[in-house]
Chain A
Amino acid sequence: AQSVTQLDSQVPVFEEAPVELRCNYSSSVSVYLFWYVQYPNQGLQLLLKYLSGSTLVESINGFEAEFNKSQTSFHLRKPSVHISDTAEYFCAVSGRAGSYQLTFGKGTKLSVIP
């Protein structure tokens, strides 16, 4: 069985400041990790994912996450946030190739303050 823990339920940050959203995982098998973002009144969108290979993965809008096996973490970072980054961010894990199931964390609400 696998699970993820998002350590912060809310993260307020000033515009143009850096941000880190924390995610720790627990899995007894291979692990595949994801960050999904949900803007207000919308569905979820994939931000980035780690399946294998390079432990640093990047999204097209400036976010990055690093898979750290020794610390069982997959923290999401952005060096400079914009107002438009205000959203709910969900870390998720899948434990098996071919699985349809993602286990989501409880979410972190990122609020960017002008």
Chain B
Amino acid sequence: DTEVTQTPKHLVMGMTNKKSLKCEQHMGHRAMYWYKQKAKKPPELMFVYSYEKLSINESVPSRFSPECPNSSLLNLHLHALQPEDSALYLCASSQRGALDTIYFGEGSWLTVV
């Protein structure tokens, strides 16, 4: 099983809402990532968890809050987002670091209205 599963696939939320994006992998990978991708742009790294501990936070605004409940799950909690936060949010995982194959989910399309 070489899958990273993300839910929901599409999410529309208002600027005062609280929502969460969820990600799951069962490959035994120890590194999990959140990326943000705007249309026609490359993915931008947001957060990295390594062995369930937050390893990298790329100066992401606090309205994005990651959580890693266990080695298979990764959440991204969203609160008070802005319209410019509308994007494709990609979850990914790898055995260890970036030199290993990074497996990406299909993404969650987020629209903030």
Interfacial residues, chain A to chain B (CB-CB below 8 A): 32, 41-46, 49, 51, 90, 94, 97-102, 104-107
Report the minimal beta-carbon distance from A34 to chain B, rounded to whole angstroms. 8
Question: Chain B 90-104, CB within 8 Å of chain A: the 1/0 string?
Answer: 101000111101101
Q: In this assembly, does B55 line the interface, its C-beta being within 8 Å of a C-beta of chain A?
A: yes
Report the minimal beta-carbon distance from A57 to chain B, rounded to whole angstroms. 13
Binds A, one of B14-22, B35-43, B64-72, B73-81: B35-43
Pick from A98, A105, A106: contact of B97, CB under 8 Å: A98
**Number of residues in B with C-beta < 8 Å to the partner?**
24
* Interface residues of chain B: helix, strand, loop or mixed (majority): loop
Report the minimal beta-carbon distance from B102 to chain A, rounded to whole angstroms. 7
In the complex, A107→B38 CA distance in Å?
A: 12
Check if B106 sits within 8 Å of A102, measured CB to CB: no
What are 7 of the A-B contact pairs (CB < 8 Å)?
A: A43-B105, A49-B101, A90-B42, A98-B96, A98-B97, A100-B97, A104-B43
Check if A101 sits within 8 Å of B56, measured CB to CB: yes
Query: Chain B residues near A101 (CB, 8 Å)?
Result: 45, 48, 56, 98
Of all A-B residue pairs in the complex, the 10 with the closest CB atoms, nearest first, are: A43-B104, A104-B42, A100-B48, A44-B104, A94-B98, A46-B101, A102-B98, A43-B106, A100-B97, A43-B105
In the complex, A100→B98 CA distance in Å?
A: 5
Closest B residue to A106 by beta carbon equals B42
